[in-house]
Amino acid sequence: MTIPFRSFCKNIFNSRFGALAAFYMFFLALSFGVRVILLIFSFDEVSAYPWELFKVFFVGMFFDTVAASYFTLGYLAAIVFVPSKLANTRVYEILTYLSYTLGSLILIFSSFSEYFFWDEFNVRFNFIAVDYLIYTTEVIGNILQSYPIPLLVLMILTLSTLTLWVLLKSKIVNKSVSDTIPFKRRFMIGTGFLLIPVFDLLFVTQSLSKISEDSYNNELAKNGIYSIFEAYKNNQLDYNAFYPVKNPHLALSDTRKLLQGEGRFYESDSTDLQYSYQPDSIFVPKNIMFITIESLSGEFMSYLGSTQGKVTPFLDSLSEKSLFFTKIFATGTRTVRGLEALTLSVPPTPGTSIVRRPDNDSLFSLGSVFSNLGYQNTFLYGGNGFFDNMNAFFEGNGFKIVDKKKMSKEEISFENAWGTCDQDVYRRAIKEADASYASGKIFLNFILTTSNHRPYTFPKVAVDLKEGTRAAGVRYSDFALQEFFRNAASKPWFENTVFVIVGDHCASSAGKTDLPINRYRIPAIIYNAGSVQPQKIDKLCSQIDILPTLLSLLHVKYASTFFGKNILSMKPEEERAFIATYQQLGYVKQNQLIVLNPRTQPQVFQYDPNTFESTPVNIPSPLSNEAISLYQSAEYLFVNRMDKMPMSKFRESL
């Protein structure tokens, strides 16, 4: 068998398909090299047993081959269908070299990009990378400010030139364009190459990379280029087609029982989730500063024993004077997930966030409740609010928009790729508050910061850490927040203002499992909460619970379809959290983590209530039924427009 195989390889490389076969080899070798480098980079986190590593490289080679087959489809078509007479020309030869050079540049560039993407997120290209391709202004600016671009460009060009030199020396292209293989034989061989992508379309999904209990191994088994196209294809998932479901009426009825106690349901119909919350005291208007801090992990603060050093001294001190929620979890790994949870009080749905989905205006939301109460709502963001559709979402749900484009040159003291520094957006928030107060309006300012994000650059201020590191970004964010409070304290509206401070998501979401619970743990603080005394609250809860808790503290009567609960009155049996990626949906309750995956049965994990480290268990759990009901109902409400706020219920809620 050895001789025929060697003969076949020799014939292929000396034929019209020689350049294509050589490119396949180049693609596979480069992909192998990237996998080795990423393995070395994260070796402490990887399950490095020989069998585990064998699976990583075997499955990885499979995905590399599939990716190469897609990448070369255009050239394969040219080989098969361009007549030999035309292929034997100098023009075709030059075009082949140009195509090969361009393909090499793309592959080498993507290999470097994969390394930096892994460095930041500890995963292969995914849904985030798709977003990065769309929002080029912020992303390219971030890259230019974060990395030594001239050196990287030189390295990429050098490697591409070396690849072209090897190709020229081998004379593979010359042999390819001079070959006069008949069309019938070209078609037969081309069909063989084509079987790979066809097989992939029919039978292969990214789930085949699930080879280990260690998520790092699973990520290493993927191919970056294949993953980015898979992520683009799965931008929005049809919940009913991919996830475990039950009868919609039963799911809604079960969800209603789980929400029971939050308010009075309007209809006797057990599938209607619209309810009215009736407070036990009279509403007294208070201004609200709702501050969402970029990538604020709980691990940065002292209460979780910060591993970065003392980088949040102001937040640590403020937490002692506030309602401080120590076991609250973000719903996702992106800012838009945090915004969705904080403003809509709903569990995450698969695919992209509601913030980015069409027809997401006039929802039961933070904006609708406070607009109904006569508040002047303003969304303040130091970057371009076009990013992630934030401006459209907030404007469609009752907010005035103030982003970087609405700020004058005088208001911008420092900016990077992501926008103005935190100090600038805080100063503008105070201006907006002053204007509302002067006009006799109560206000809600919803602020989203940007500085705790790569490239971690900020103004020259009294921060004892060099810019460019995550720790420095966190320290500056804390410094800017302290300055904001110092400035706000001198204002006449300060004493009548409630401050909500919460992280949008954690700085990193990677862990030993696909949904590492502790990588979703964020701090949440409510300062100046009126008659409620400062206290630490250790109840397991979710980002979606912040809004109902705030409304309860203000004694607001409102109508909604919120899934969140008032944390202060939450019973032990009601404690739970929702955590998710764009495909995996997690439900954390009673020391168990239930994970809903596309086209598989729910997975059950047991977790340590102190460390939140989880391990899989091979037994079913009744909590799976709750998880299915809640996630299915959340998707059903949005898809069927049941979370829209009718004007009759606006009036009724007053």
Work out the pLDDT band at 650, boundaries 50, 70, 90.
Answer: very low
Q: What is the pTM of this model?
A: 0.78
Give 614's strand partners.
Answer: 607
**Contact indicator for 397, 346 with CB cutoff of 8 Å:** no
Question: Is residue 640 pLDDT above 90, yes or no?
Answer: no
Rounded mean pLDDT of 373-392?
94
Tell me how crowded residue 180 is: count the other CB atoms within 10 A of its CB.
Answer: 11
Rounded mean pLDDT of 74-92?
89
The third-level CATH classification (topology) of the domain covering 248-279+289-653 is Alkaline Phosphatase, subunit A (3.40.720)
Residue 488 has a pLDDT of: 97
**Contact indicator for 3, 162 with CB cutoff of 8 Å:** no
Q: For residue 181, which of 21, 11, 23, 7 has the smallest C-alpha distance? A: 11
Which tokens is 509 given? 């979401």
Question: Is residue 270 pLDDT above 90, yes or no?
Answer: no
Residue 556 has a pLDDT of: 93
Q: Measured between alpha carbons, how far is 577 from 275 in angstroms, rounded to an integer?
A: 21
Residue 1 has a pLDDT of: 44
Which residues of the chain are in CATH 3.40.720.10 domains? 248-279+289-653
pLDDT tens, position by position, 35-72: 999 999 999 889 999 999 999 999 999 999 999 999 99
Is 462 in a helix, a strand, or coil? coil
Tell me how crowded residue 358 is: count the other CB atoms within 10 A of its CB.
Answer: 9
Question: Is residue 649 pLDDT above 50, yes or no?
Answer: no
Distance of CA 570 to the CA centre of its chain: 28
Question: Is residue 261 pLDDT above 70, yes or no?
Answer: yes
The packing angle between helices 50-71 and 73-81, to 10°, is: 50
In this structure, which amino acid lies at residue 646? P
The DSSP bridge pattern shows strands 323-329 and 535-537 to be: parallel
Q: Which residue has the higher pLDDT, 133 or 394?
A: 394
Rounded mean pLDDT of 359-380?
94
In which element (H, E) is residue 612 found? none
Rounded mean pLDDT of 575-582?
94
In this structure, which amino acid lies at residue 119? D
pLDDT tens, position by position, 588-615: 999 999 999 877 889 999 999 999 999 9
pLDDT tens, position by position, 507-552: 887 777 789 999 999 999 999 977 788 999 999 999 999 999 999 9
Average pLDDT, the chain: 88
Which tokens is 561 given? 């379809």
Is 629 in a helix, a strand, or coil? helix
Question: Is residue 20 pLDDT above 80, yes or no?
Answer: yes
The DSSP bridge pattern shows strands 323-329 and 521-527 to be: antiparallel
Tell me how crowded residue 149 is: count the other CB atoms within 10 A of its CB.
Answer: 11
Return left, alpha or beta for 594; rule: phi > 0 is left, psi -120 to 50 is alpha, else beta: beta
Q: For residue 589, which of 574, 602, 603 has the smallest C-alpha distance? A: 574
Which of 178-182, 221-225, 408-412 has the largest mean confidence? 408-412
Bond from prior residue into 348 cis (ω within 30 degrees of 0): no
